[in-house]
Amino acid sequence: MVILTLNCGSSSAKYQVYDWDAKDVLAVGVVEKVTVGGSFINHKVKGKEEITINHDCPTHLEAVDLIIKTLTGKENGCLPDMSVIKAVGHRVTHGGSKFTKSVIVDDAVLEAFGEMTDLSPLHNPAQILGVKAAKKVLPGVPHCAVMDTAWHQTMPPEAFLYAVPYEWYEKYSARRYGFHGTSFLYTAKRAAVLLGKDPFKTNLIIAHLGNGSSINAVKDGLSFETSMGITPLEGLVMGTRSGDVDPALPFYIMRKTGMSASEIENAMNKKSGLFGITGKYADRRDIQKAKLEGDKRAALAQDIEAHRVKKYIGAYQAVLGRVDALVFTAGVGEFAFFMRQKILEGLEGVGIVYDPAKNELSHTRSAETLISKPESKVPVYIIPTDEELVMTEDAYALMAGTYDIHTKFRYSFQGKEYVNKSRAESLKGELEKNPGLKNIIAVPG
């Protein structure tokens, strides 16, 4: 049995094909530059080299159609036809307060997602289009929505309410929602396995650092506080998003420049963050290269980003009281050792002591690593996220009628014996090139 997962972003459509019986990934890929022109698909089938195919995708409908044709193509496909797919899991960014767990998508659910487009104008419309396109191609199988916001529905009112007129919350649902929930769910469960602790007796700080970044305080296995707010703009400094600013700043700039509200919103979402500071770079690799070449604004951008993450780590330690582990995940968290270094330096006073050599060794998505020194009161793990696996398991369980909220549901990756086959295979090659990696691989407690 095969399960397809789709993750439609504002200008992309990621996918994964999973063989449920073999517990293995058959293919992964992404369609880039959807809606903006110059679209192409990067497609990787197990055991084969990755390929790139140029194909115009003016909307996500064409992107999903391209994915289906590529998966079933004679030359580069991995499926005989679409009939072998028995369920589809869809990522949905904003589920508001209505959804506390994944659901099977029907007309009422789609309508509810449509009502939330004001809360997620960049993502929800694209994801709704993706669901509709996939349902058209695969009408006879369950389509399941996995919401980024669902994980954070356990936050208490003191964490999710803003100190603004209460009627804004009552009338307009204005509150903190948080995002990256599927990633936090996976890494929280895996951290408990590595620690050898009951997941619901585990306190964690998890930093999901990518182009979009957020940090999550997990108390007794539940989301307790998170940095993103009513939208993904609040919190950490990101690739093009500002993160936290004085709420009066937009009004000040509007008065000074005559910019409209929509222009300000666009600037804070797409022209700020690291790109805003450097004036040209949003990718951490570009920023690191520029810094090493003497670019002072690139160095400043790194300092600002690291400072913001440090500030949140300290705040979340105070909120949690006891921290069992600090976890880094997502593209920057998993690969940018230079950013982890800047974040972790100077945290000895709060019980976090990292090992610079171990930190530099850890540059992989194929293994979970431990980069703290033995004397560190708070171990520091790097756990490569696997949102697609969460989506796959939710979709299967919804199809089978066995699914429930994560406090009453057990995932396969919560077992000590769990092995990701595709990552284990990739690790063999990595260890040949980087033998020292073996010494920092984390072992379940």
143, 226: one domain: no
pLDDT of residue 337: 97
Bridge partners, 311 (sequence order): none
Average pLDDT over residues 230-250: 96
pLDDT of 9 strictly over 90: no
- Asked if residue 61 has pLDDT above 90, the reply is no
Task: For the chain, give the mean pLDDT.
Answer: 94
Tens-digit pLDDT profile for residues 262-300: 999 999 999 999 999 999 999 999 999 999 999 999 999
Count of Cβ atoms closer than 10 Å to residue 75 Cβ: 6
**Residues carrying an active site annotation:** 148
Q: What is the Cα–Cα distance from 119 to 100, expressed in whole angstroms? A: 17
Are β-strands 51-54 and 204-208 bridged in parallel, bridged antiparallel, or unpaired?
unpaired
**Residue 154 included in any domain:** no
pLDDT of residue 261: 95
Residues 114 and 239 in one domain: no
Check whether residue 129 and residue 80 sit in a common domain: yes
Nearest Cα to Cα of residue 6 among 397, 400, 388, 398: 388
39 in any annotated domain: yes
Q: Are residues 327 and 218 in the same domain?
A: yes
Q: Is residue 158 one of the residues assigned to a domain?
A: no
Q: In this structure, is residue 105 part of a structural domain?
A: yes
Structure tokens at 44: 């990787």
Residue 166 belongs to some domain of the structure? no
Confidence of residue 67 (pLDDT cuts 50, 70, 90): very high
Q: How many CB atoms lie within 10 A of CB 400?
A: 10
Q: What is the pLDDT of residue 116?
A: 83
Q: Which of 110-119, 144-153, 221-230, 306-315 has the lowest mean pLDDT?
A: 110-119
- The answer as to whether 169 is a domain residue is no
Q: Give the model confidence (pLDDT) of 315-367 as tens digits.
A: 999 999 999 999 999 999 999 999 999 999 999 999 999 999 999 999 999 99
Q: Yes or no: say if 42 and 14 are a contact pair by the CB < 8 Å rule.
A: no
What is the pLDDT, as a whole number, of residue 183?
96
Q: What percent of the chain has pLDDT over 90?
A: 84
pLDDT at 119 exceeding the cut of 90: no
pLDDT value at position 122?
A: 73
pLDDT at 409: 95
Q: Which amino acid is at 293?
A: E
Q: Are residues 119 and 233 in the same domain?
A: no
What is d(CA 373, CA 371) in angstroms, rounded to the nearest whole number?
7
CATH code: domain of residue 269: 3.30.420.40
* HSE, side-chain direction, 13 A CA sphere, residue 90: 32
User: Three-state SS for 280?
Assistant: coil
- pLDDT reported for residue 163: 98
For residues 330 and 209, give the distance between their C-alpha atoms in angstroms, rounded to a whole number: 5
Task: Give me the number of domains the chain comprises.
Answer: 2
Q: Does any domain span residue 375?
A: yes
Provide the pLDDT confidence category of residue 129 given band limits of 50, 70 and 90.
confident
Domain span holding position 356: 181-383+419-440
CB atoms within 10 A of CB 432: 8
Q: What is the mean pLDDT of residues 223-233?
A: 96
More confident residue, 100 or 392: 392
Q: Are residues 98 and 200 in the same domain?
A: no
Q: How far is the C-alpha of 265 from the C-alpha of 287, rounded, in Å? A: 24
Same domain, 408 and 423: no
Residue 133: its pLDDT value, please? 85
Count the helices and strands in the chain (H runs, E runs).
16, 14
Q: Name the DSSP letter for residue 87.
A: E
> Do residues 133 and 190 both lie within one domain?
no
Query: Is residue 87 one of the residues assigned to a domain?
Result: yes
Q: What is the pLDDT of residue 305?
A: 98
Is residue 26 within 8 A of residue 78, CB to CB? The reply is: yes
pLDDT for the residue numbered 151: 97
Q: Based on the domain organization, do 302 and 322 belong to the same domain?
A: yes
pLDDT above 70: percentage of residues in the chain: 100
Do 215 and 129 lie in one domain? The reply is no
Query: Do 348 and 395 share a domain, yes or no?
Result: no
Task: Output the pLDDT for position 432.
Answer: 94
Q: Are 322 and 235 contained in the same domain? A: yes
